[in-house]
Chain A
């Protein structure tokens, strides 16, 4: 007898009740709804929004943010180190612009886990939950955990007319689709708004917001009127929760098609050429810019994927530089991943600061693992989950700070190890969401948002 929600028993605040009605309550049992309502009391967090810059393939920590200049040859990077704007923090000398913003970031140099394959490790990084097994083609089923952003959409959804969670510009796959990119057991309603068109394309726009040829705004209006005319005929049906849920979605869809808010947020052409150039005329660069525009317009969680695949053999794709097929890591890093990183990350940080958004926006930059301390026979590096670096910036993270110390060869954490579960708990805590909040899977089993511990040491 679900009706108690609507009859003013006061168990669910009115706004929440309307929201539930609006998002369609098919299939939800009351206890489930009640729990959802009980748990959504998110405290205001330091980070109003998160931009998750996900580095697929696994960047070498020794050749980016955890260089070991005095390690023996065969371990230490071919690159040198440079001092940064943060006293005492050195990074790879191929990242000179990044070095200038190090006084704005926290490096966690002791992230570690045991997943050696891309999909399970990436799933772990994208959800904060260890996969059931380290299987190279871990299957993307609803047993697995939802993406961070989907959890945010469940617990603290946007009410400003903007989507809560947007992901672009790829779907990542390594053979199979990499799990952890959607809502999984939370339900399709919490999937990200996924944009796979290229923000670097001159004609970039959200496909959903464009009409098929021959369909005009007037016809859309006529169609909606006819639809409503038919719906009014069966008044009782119109009052059912299922119908009200549907109608709310039609309203939202047409609202987005007719209003400029969402369209504007995706309109990269509105940015000055100089800004677009600063981010770099690449898919990833323009994606970082798009992330800033979306956060500016109120989107809460943005996943930007560096690449659609693990890459590593050419100047494209991700960071998986093994040196296979007679390729070599260093030339690829020098020509491709590092320059792109050095153009985008500091630009985004600076841009957010200039707009006064940096304090409210948390940037997370990380991949699924680091790379072997020992340089292999191909003068490249292989997978290394035992210790690597994640970068946090803004949104309540400390500035100019290193958390955790790796050992002499950056092979294992030496001091203050951090698990991916802990990192997730920390991101949620920074967003004001209690990581101990319970979610329920398809079998209605209670599961914590994160079983990790909040790393308070990185919080400003």
Chain B
């Protein structure tokens, strides 16, 4: 390579990236490293050029004696370098940088060719013994071709940077992927500012593998099974009836079935009973409670900012929307375009909770487009296409939202987040959402759109229309993915609000088909003829998912699917939510719950908001504290991640020695007392307890052990409490399976 051929932007910058110099952990850090700072992942070549050529008066790069440049001495470890050896003296990287320095560190001509596209092959590959290219078990060469503005192209395979999503494979300097362990990885291929994801599956050699060929119930199964077959994974068997009714009732209503409901279902001999159960659950009032709760989490329905009345209005409106089958696109339109009095127009509370333009733009992006824009506030998003320009143009869209505060009876006059009283959300004539780099508000744009909004256009009504347009694929996919995750426990894109090229769906065809079903009523995207399947019908989408064999698979794993976590080959075991655990205990024991400020008997899943923080010390009671301890979110963020299903020591202490559960077990007149005094035999009592708590009959050994325990006990009521405690603390009660 001669000096004349070297482009600063296309070659030197590529070497800095390839060698890892500009990573956030190294010199790309906002504070640099060792006094040397360049732009994160090379996003700003102009600034980097100045740094490399001018700072330190050229000590960093020395044209007269190029080998003495710090830029070469340090990364080749001829001088101590905290970042270690990045390349050797005889490497391409060294020679290119040396040549560039020796020729006087020229900048590119203004008409130099610019990168316009990166073409990477393959985009998806399943590697097994038949397809692998070499004798090593799993190997795949990746090829990266850069397309430039002048129409020319170049093989940049050795210049591209390769990052692997999971440490089960490695990629060589020149793009050869070697898998170490069976599994799936995403390899991010990056050259300059373009990046492309390659999905690679390392399929284990299984000479005895025989595809079990389960019968698909609908298109969901066809697409899931087609992927599973490719990776030599057999799905688990379909779960039994008792497991199914417990699972589907908890998933749709947030409650387990009662003992009677469950026994009736299990003994029902009719075919199609699962489908019939799904239909009936979808029309239960608890379904609307449960879905309103999920959406209230996301829309920040909490008392301090919305006040008690606002919380009840907004939550009530959401509950109504789910009870009356409001199409999801209409729901979202009303939310994002919502304005007016927060007492008169419930969805106006959405913006009441989001007080600044960028809180609004980040929330709408995350909730309805599945993008996390926060990174691009300070620098171009490292793993996505979003630039700082995009961030601030999108933010401008929300700059005109303002509030007329009719009254504020807040108790803490120092607290700017507390509002108690009516407000009117409205659009003012003009607003500010400055991009700090230019100290100006940018022209508003829909995210990713090329053209600016017309100044006279109502930005929120425009947004509502643009967002929910049936041809805005991202919106439909986001909603479909969210709904899938709400019942399956994991998104097809996961995390569900992190859609990006570098976080591809585990099953793209499935996601597309589900989105089509949601938006058009058919999985192929052709409009449906059935009236109830037209357009953004939540129940219709749920019906398809829940009737699939995939949803109904057991959590019991088999030899081939024990490692699978992303392809839905078995049910995921996970802890139930705070509300599910508390409501299930309350239902089984027949002891109503008491939450501060609500009449006795309100279920946890029916609580409209989160009480204002300042009240906590005084008025919070055991039940409120239980919910917080088990992960009910404070609703201060527009992210599912705020809800926690972690287990903590505090939780097990609450269950073992805490006051709430023990008090519910000993409450006078609870269902344990009824059982103890019912005149039933020990065996009948134990059996009834099992159905009440974990929706099944006791096994023979369980029955004989617990009956013996009951018979030998000095205090029968206490013994019944102890058995009930064992049931409420069993895996089957606490975990969804």
Q: Which residues of A contact B (CB under 8 A)?
A: 1-4, 7, 9, 11, 24, 26-27, 30-31, 34, 135-137, 139-143, 163, 173, 175-177, 187-189, 191, 193, 208-212, 214-215, 219-220, 222-227, 229-231, 233-234, 236-238, 240-243, 245-246, 249-250, 252-254, 257, 436, 438, 442-446, 451
Contact = CB atoms under 8 A, between A and B. Distances in A.
A247 B575 CA distance: 12
A233 B649 CA distance: 25
Interface in B652-687: 652-653, 656-659, 662-663, 666
B556 A9 contact: no
B416 A188 contact: no
B731 A231 contact: yes
Nearest to A250: B652
A1 B181 contact: yes
B732 A230 contact: yes
A9 B656 contact: no
A238 B731 contact: yes
B602 interface: no
Chain B: interface residue count, which band? 35 or more
B317 interface: no
Nearest to A244: B731
A137 B374 contact: no
Given A1-B563, A226-B726, A237 B555 contact: yes
A176 B694 contact: no
Q: State the 3 A-B residue pairs at the shortest beta-carbon distance, nearest first.
A: A226-B726, A1-B183, A141-B636
Contact of B646 (A26, A34, A175, A227): A26
B415 interface: yes
B653 to A, nearest CB: 4
B58 to A, nearest CB: 27
Nearest to A2: B565
B637 A142 contact: yes
B417 A4 contact: no
A445 B417 CA distance: 26
B734 A246 contact: yes
Interface stretch (B163-171, B463-471, B521-529): B163-171
A242 B31 contact: no
20 contacts: A1-B183, A4-B168, A4-B183, A26-B646, A31-B165, A34-B167, A136-B416, A137-B418, A143-B637, A188-B650, A189-B646, A226-B709, A226-B723, A227-B730, A229-B701, A236-B556, A245-B647, A246-B731, A253-B649, A443-B641
B643 to A, nearest CB: 10
Contacts, number: 215
A140 B662 contact: no
Interface centre among A193, A233, A238 (most CB of B within 10 A): A233
Contact of B652 (A34, A230, A249): A249
Interface of B: 24-25, 30-31, 165-168, 180-184, 372, 374-375, 412, 414-418, 495, 498, 555-557, 562-566, 573-575, 613-614, 616-617, 631, 634, 636-637, 639, 641-642, 644-653, 656-659, 662-663, 666, 694, 699, 701-702, 705-706, 709, 718, 722-723, 725-727, 729-732, 734-735, 737
Contact of A234 (B416, B417, B732): B732
A211 B657 contact: yes
Contact of A253 (B417, B639, B642, B652): B652
A431 B694 CA distance: 47
Contact of B181 (A4, A136, A230): A4
A442 B167 contact: no
Contacts of A173: 614, 617
Contacts of A27: 644-646
B727 A212 contact: no
Contacts of A249: 647-649, 651-652
Given A3-B562, A231-B731, A257 B183 contact: no
Contact of A1 (B182, B416, B642, B694): B182
B417 A137 contact: yes
A143 B417 CA distance: 16
B648 A243 contact: no
A252 B649 contact: yes
A135 B417 CA distance: 9
Contact of A230 (B25, B636, B663, B726): B726
Contacts of A31: 165-167
A208 B653 contact: yes
Contacts of A1: 166, 168, 181-184, 563-566
Nearest to A247: B731
Contacts of B648: 188-189, 191, 249
A27 B617 CA distance: 30
A2 B563 contact: yes
B457 to A, nearest CB: 31
Contacts of B641: 142, 442-443
Contact of B574 (A26, A229, A234, A445): A26
A201 B698 CA distance: 47
Contact of A212 (B642, B645, B659): B659
Given A26-B647, A188-B650, A443 B735 contact: no
A250 B656 contact: yes
A237 B731 contact: yes
Contact of A140 (B557, B564, B573, B613): B613
Contacts of B702: 229-230, 233
A223 B575 contact: no
Contact of A254 (B31, B372, B656, B730): B656
A26 B417 contact: no
Contacts of B167: 11, 30-31, 34
B555 A236 contact: yes
A136 B415 contact: yes
A252 to B, nearest CB: 6
Contacts of A143: 637
B278 to A, nearest CB: 24
A451 B37 CA distance: 14
Nearest to B180: A9
B657 A210 contact: yes
A24 B647 contact: yes
B311 to A, nearest CB: 16
Given A26-B647, A137-B412, A446 B652 contact: no
A237 B573 contact: yes
B40 to A, nearest CB: 11
B31 A451 contact: yes
B718 A219 contact: yes
B656 A257 contact: yes
A135 to B, nearest CB: 6
Given A137-B416, A141-B634, A214 B565 contact: no
Contacts of B718: 214, 219
A441 to B, nearest CB: 9
B730 A253 contact: no
A229 B722 contact: no
A257 B25 CA distance: 44
Nearest to A174: B414
Contacts of A141: 634, 636-637
Given A230-B732, A445-B374, A188 B657 contact: no
Contacts of B699: 233
Contacts of A227: 725-726, 729-730
A231 B374 CA distance: 43
A74 B99 CA distance: 67
